[in-house]
Amino acid sequence: MEGPSLKIACEELRPFLKKRIVAVRGTPKVLSIGFRGKVFRSARSWGKHLLLTFDDFTIRIHFLMFGSYRIDDPRPNRIPKLELRFSKGTVYFYSCAIKCLEEPVSKIYDVEKDLMSSHWNARKALSALRDQPDAEVADVLMDQEIFAGLGNIIKNEVLFRRGFHPQSRVKELTSAQQRALVKDAHVYSWIFYEWKKKNELKRHWQIFRKRKCPVCGSGVKKRKTGKLDRVSHYCLGCQSK
DNA sequence: ATAAATGTTAAGAA
DNA sequence: CTTCTTAACATTTA
């Protein structure tokens, strides 16, 4: 799950804000956190982290590749890692990593790195990008310390939109191209968010998991790239190195 | 039906 | 002290 989806999760949890937890179910480790009777204060996201705050702690939920959540509609034959029951509804979290944070969220996370935050700082991202001149652009985009929330779909789509080869080194891009890359990571994250909300995200993929380039019609190259060894989909004609 | 994939972390090796 | 490799986790889709 990428950043935009986490933002949507926050919105879907809004009806439960200020509500008290009346019952909890979950794995023993998660239950030891002691949710019972606590009031749900805020739902925020930072990158791919969902942050649910209660009076004296915050839980961080990471959905990784396969995690999911449901509201008022448990998945059949599936045991949630955490189930929070409020008087007027229940939230279920499946196959995710849950951690309890005691420190205030503002001390742990830099909102300027979060692509979905109104405080996102393009200059900071650009400067961090330029600090890695020898890195491949596909790797840098996926670096959560630089582009928090950016995942493999966004990576591939942004590189295609900008016409950059995933294995291009940062220093091989012109200054203007570097700026354009940073900017489009932000722009496309928000487009992703809108499409996802309308449930039409996949329909708009241009290169990710595609067989043919929508521009020139040639076959899409698919291979793992970079130190991160994640799949890149790209068009050799349209994405120069 | 087998495999690959919207991801991260911890542990051990080099 | 890094940096790299591997495994573990867990679910849906092609």
Between CA A42 and CA A6 the distance in angstroms is 14
Q: Are A40 and A18 in contact (CB under 8 A)?
A: yes
Mean pLDDT (whole number) for A11-29: 96
What pLDDT, in 10s, does the model give residues A78-106? 999 999 999 999 999 999 999 999 999 99
Q: Per residue in A177-197, is it b (16+ CB within 10 Å) or e — as a string?
A: bbebbbebbbebbebbbebbe
Cβ of residue A65 near strand B, that is under 7 Å? yes
Closest residue to C11 measured CA to C1′: A66
Of A214, A215, A220, the C-alpha closest to A235 is A220
Q: Quick one: pLDDT band at residue A240, thresholds 50, 70, 90?
A: confident
Whole-model pTM: value is 0.96
Q: Are A75 and A81 in contact (CB under 8 A)?
A: no
Cβ of residue A157 near strand B, that is under 7 Å? no
Closest residue to B4 measured CA to C1′: A231
What pLDDT, in 10s, does the model give residues A170-219? 999 999 999 999 999 999 999 999 999 999 999 999 999 999 999 999 99
pLDDT of A9 > 90? The answer is: yes
DSSP character at residue A44: E
Closest residue to B6 measured CA to C1′: A1
DSSP character at residue A23: E
Q: Are A165 and A159 in contact (CB under 8 A)?
A: yes
The nucleotide minimizing the C1' distance to residue A65's CA is B7
The nucleotide minimizing the C1' distance to residue A227's CA is C4
Instruction: State phi, psi for A121 to the nearest 5 degrees.
Output: -120, 105
List protein-proximal bases of chain B (any atom < 7 A from a CB). Answer: 4-9
